[in-house]
């Protein structure tokens, strides 16, 4: 929920920034027209994103090929952006909307194998994109320094106003979060108790957690090259990213510990992982019990019935005494991982000596990979 809200906040900020740039270029601004334009861009972008997301939900199950499904997950947000921009609404909001829909429905639309491949694909893609962003930051900063006459000019002519802007931005965030908490306190004083204030310590942490990154750079780089003060905007964006990420980001944990904050009970999930696993085991057992006998009442799945009954009983006991069983569980899965490693070594020996072909290697290696992933998840 928090990540989704953050994405929409960023998208809305980018839309509003478009109006700010237009006002700076033309020298005119109308609040009424800006509000109307914002609603059109935002609602239109959300509608286009929802349409593309719905199309993805309908299309993906019919593709039948895991590579086509993963490609569709990559193309859907791009398609949403391009389609929205072509009809002059917000491509960013359309992309966010499509992404949220795909993320919500991928748990039921994709098979386990497709989802595992997709997670690996997106893990690499996200890493490359984030690395590219930081490379872009460095290359853009060098160009700015060269244009203004060197680092000395930046340091002597821009350092003071940039630091003042960073300080004002930081103080503005604290003013906003403290003010929001005060509004909630005032509402509770008059009887509106839907929201709960987080208090001075929580507000301080929230105020200090205002890290800036990709969106700040994207906004700065989107400023037209002939826009007055563009280089100063870029330098300020770099300073904001540097200060918030390196200073606030690296010291956030220190601030939390210094204020003595702990996770409140209300924020913790109602069930532990062991309890959730136990709940799933009971449902699976019920299905096995309903289908373990044939139409004449003969037991046709005795081993499966015994296995699920045993696992369901053990899962309940384990959920109640997780700490007691943890050492033995870790030792068990350590041995499981050792057996998998031994099996993998033998599999490679068989392939290297020509006893099995490439197809057999891939199939058995995939089974070992799934078994290893399952063991690591259970152990950790």
Does residue 365 contact residue 316 with C-beta atoms inside 8 Å?
no
* Contact (CB, 8 A) for 184 and 196: yes
pLDDT at residue 152, as a whole number: 79
Does 331 share its domain with 316?
A: no
- What per-residue confidence (pLDDT) applies to 266? 64
Whether 299 maps to a domain, the answer reads: yes
Specify if 119 maps to a domain: no
Select the highest-mean-pLDDT range: 28-37, 241-250, 322-331, 363-372: 241-250
Answer with the one of 320, 335, 360 that is the final residue of a domain: 320
User: Are 257 and 158 found together in one domain?
Assistant: yes
How far, in Å, are 171, 300, 348, 371 from residue 356 at the CA level?
67, 36, 9, 21
Of the residues 248, 268, 288, which one is the last residue of a structural domain? 268
In 3D space, the residue among 35, 33, 44 whose CA is nearest the CA of residue 89 turns out to be 44
Dihedrals phi, psi of 299, to nearest 5 degrees: -75, 120
Statement to judge: residues 156 and 259 lie in one domain: yes
CA distances from 365 to 123, 352, 355, 372 (A): 21, 14, 15, 10
Residue 246: inside a domain? yes
- 19/42 Cα distance (integer angstroms): 13
Pick from 57, 44, 123, 59: which is nearest to 91 by CA? 44
Mean pLDDT across 94-116? 85
The total number of structural domains that make up the chain = 4
Q: Which residues contact 142 (CB under 8 A, 6 or more apart)?
A: none
> What is the domain extent for residue 310?
272-320
What confidence tens digit (pLDDT) does each residue in 299-321 have?
888 888 888 888 888 788 777 77
- Pair 253, 338 in one domain: no
pLDDT at 187 over 70: yes
> Is there a domain that residue 16 lies in?
yes
Both structure tokens of 46: 């959300």
The answer to whether residues 327 and 314 belong to one domain is no
Return the pLDDT at 347.
86
Q: Are 238 and 352 contained in the same domain?
A: no
pLDDT tens readout for residues 322-371: 777 777 777 877 888 888 889 888 988 888 888 888 888 888 888 888 88
Choose the final residue of a domain: 284, 300, 320. Answer: 320
Average pLDDT over residues 240-268: 84
238 and 277 belong to one structural domain: no
Comparing 377 with 115, which gets the higher pLDDT? 115
- Is the predicted pLDDT of residue 53 greater than 90, yes or no? yes
Q: How far, rounded to the nearest angstrom, does the alpha carbon of residue 47 sit from its chain's CA centroid?
A: 22
In a domain, 124, yes or no: no
In a domain, 131, yes or no: no
pLDDT of residue 71: 92
Residues 24 and 78 in one domain: yes
Extract the tokens encoding 301.
């799945």
Virtual torsion, Cα 75, 76, 79, 81, nearest 10 deg: -120
| DSSP letter string, 310-378 | HHHHHHHHHHHSHHHHHHHHHHHHHHHHHHHHHHHHHHHHHHHTTSS-HHHHHHHHHHHHHHHHHHHHH
Q: 154 and 221: one domain?
A: yes
Residues 252 and 151 in one domain: yes
Q: Are residues 247 and 281 in the same domain?
A: no
Q: Which residues of 289-299 are buried (b: 16+ CB within 10 A; e: fewer)?
A: eeebeeeeeee
| Domain assignment of residue 193, yes or no | yes
The larger pLDDT score, comparing residue 167 to residue 114, is at 167
The reply to whether 357 and 379 lie within a common domain is yes
Percent of the chain with pLDDT over 70: 95
CA-nearest of 109, 106, 45, 105 to 80 is 45
Residue 295 has pLDDT above 70, yes or no: yes
Residue 94 has pLDDT above 80, yes or no: yes
The pLDDT value given to residue 380? 67
User: Who contacts 191 (Cβ-Cβ below 8 Å, separation ≥6)?
Assistant: none
- The answer to the question of residue 66 being in a domain is yes
pTM: 0.66
């Amino acid at each position: 929920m928090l990540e989704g809200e953050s994405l929409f906040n960023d998208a809305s900020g980018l839309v509003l920034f478009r109006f700010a740039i237009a006002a700076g270029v033309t020298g005119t601004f109308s609040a009424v027209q800006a509000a109307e334009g914002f609603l059109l861009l935002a609602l239109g972008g959300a509608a286009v994103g929802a349409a593309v997301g719905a199309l993805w939900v309908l299309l993906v199950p019919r593709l039948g090929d895991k590579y086509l499904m993963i490609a569709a997950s990559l193309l859907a947000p791009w398609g949403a952006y391009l389609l929205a921009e072509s009809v002059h609404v917000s491509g960013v909001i359309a992309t966010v909307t499509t992404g949220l829909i795909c993320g919500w429905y991928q748990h039921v639309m994709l098979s386990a194998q497709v989802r595992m491949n997709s997670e690996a694909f997106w893990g690499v893609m996200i890493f490359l994109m984030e690395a590219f962003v930081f490379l872009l930051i460095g290359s853009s900063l060098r160009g700015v320094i060269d244009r203004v006459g060197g680092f000395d000019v930046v340091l002597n002519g821009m350092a003071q106003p940039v630091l003042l802007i960073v300080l004002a931005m930081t103080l503005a965030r604290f003013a906003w979060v403290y003010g929001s908490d005060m509004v909630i306190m005032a509402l509770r004083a008059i009887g509106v108790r839907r929201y709960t204030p987080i208090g001075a310590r929580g507000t301080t942490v929230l105020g200090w957690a205002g890290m800036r990154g990709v969106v700040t750079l994207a906004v700065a780089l989107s400023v037209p090259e002939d826009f007055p003060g563009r280089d100063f905007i870029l330098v300020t964006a770099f300073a904001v990213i540097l200060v918030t990420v390196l200073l606030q980001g690296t010291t956030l944990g220190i601030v939390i510990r210094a204020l003595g904050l702990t996770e409140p009970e209300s924020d913790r999930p109602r069930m532990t992982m062991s309890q959730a696993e136990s709940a799933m085991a009971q449902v699976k057992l019920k299905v096995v019990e309903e289908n373990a006998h044939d139409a004449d009442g003969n037991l046709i799945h005795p081993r499966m019935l015994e296995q699920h009954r045993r696992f369901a009983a053990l899962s309940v006991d384990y959920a109640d005494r997780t700490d007691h069983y943890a050492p033995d569980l870790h030792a068990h899965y350590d041995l499981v991982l050792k057996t998998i490693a031994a099996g993998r070594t033998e599999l490679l020996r068989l392939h290297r000596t020509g006893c099995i072909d490439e197809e057999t290697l891939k199939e058995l290696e995939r089974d070992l990979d799934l078994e290893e992933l399952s063991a690591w998840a259970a152990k950790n």
